[in-house]
Structure 1
Amino acid sequence: MDFEGVSRRLSSLATQAPEPTTLARLGLGLMVFSAGVHKLLDPLAWSAYVVGWLAPWLVISPVAFMLVNGVLEVGFGAAIVADRFTAFASAVAAVSLTATCLYLLLVFVLEGGLFGDVLARDIGLAGLAWAVLVQSLREDGRED
């Protein structure tokens, strides 16, 4: 296999690809949007992430909580994909994903490793959301 040739071809393709910040924004937006859609289609599956000691703290049932989150995520995800109100929508995603990571870390510690796989994934998604937020704020700052 000619690794140098493959590397040259990939470099050539990369020059034609969208900007990395656009790819990050679209990836985050599609993730938030699709998670919201899935929460609306199957809120019971998502309610499994509400452990027993958290449920009494919610003012609504875990299923209703997921439905509300689903509606919000569809809207924020669509805004990020459309590149409208990106700073606000990605800030919501970044704060929400960071809070989710903290919750999952607490559950992981208190519940003997529960949701460790989801925690590992969501740490990366939170980082992606913060990166999209910082980039959108930089772009907003240049428009002044």
Structure 2
Amino acid sequence: MVFAAGVHKLLDPLAWTVYVVDWLAPLLVVSPVVFMLVNGVLEIGFGAALVADRFTAIASAVAAVSLTATCLYLSLVFVLEGGLFGDVLARDVGLAGLAWAVLVDALSRPSRTG
């Protein structure tokens, strides 16, 4: 999912800028489009690592933290903006949970060396 979202952010970053509410936009260091493009590149990299089962602990940790931060942001938007993005919040809570589960699994596996 992380990989697919990253690809879509590169192909259609404007579709993702809808999630940047008016009060957040001035807080971003870059424009919402550039923000989505940068996130797209990062998501493709970390998503590819997860799909390839390489650097799984690192990639899942980044995904888990990022998705948790996204859930906190979406929760704030949900409360402040009258229920906006509730469906996306529900989906991302599930994805964050999956990312945390993958991280716990990756950390509990014996190290693959040699």
Is TM-score (shorter-chain normalized) higher than 0.5?
A: yes
| Distance in 2 between residues matched to 1:107 and 1:95, nearest whole Å | 18
1:5 aligned partner: none
1:124 aligned partner: 94
1:48 aligned partner: 18
Question: Is the helix fraction higher in 1 or 2?
Answer: 1
Percent of residue pairs identical: 83
SS at 2:48 equivalent: helix
SS at 1:48 equivalent: helix
Q: TM-score, normalized by length of structure 2?
A: 0.96
1:143, CA displacement in angstroms? 2.4
Larger radius of gyration: 1
1:113 aligned partner: 83
Task: Give 5+ residue unaligned stretches, structure 1.
Answer: 1-30
Q: Which runs of 4+ in 1 moved over 2 A?
A: none
* Amino acid in structure 2 at the alignment position of 1:143: S
| Distance in 1 between residues matched to 2:96 and 2:73, nearest whole Å | 13
Q: TM-score, normalized by length of structure 1?
A: 0.76
| Distance in 1 between residues matched to 2:111 and 2:72, nearest whole Å | 34
Task: Give 5+ residue unaligned stretches, structure 2.
Answer: none
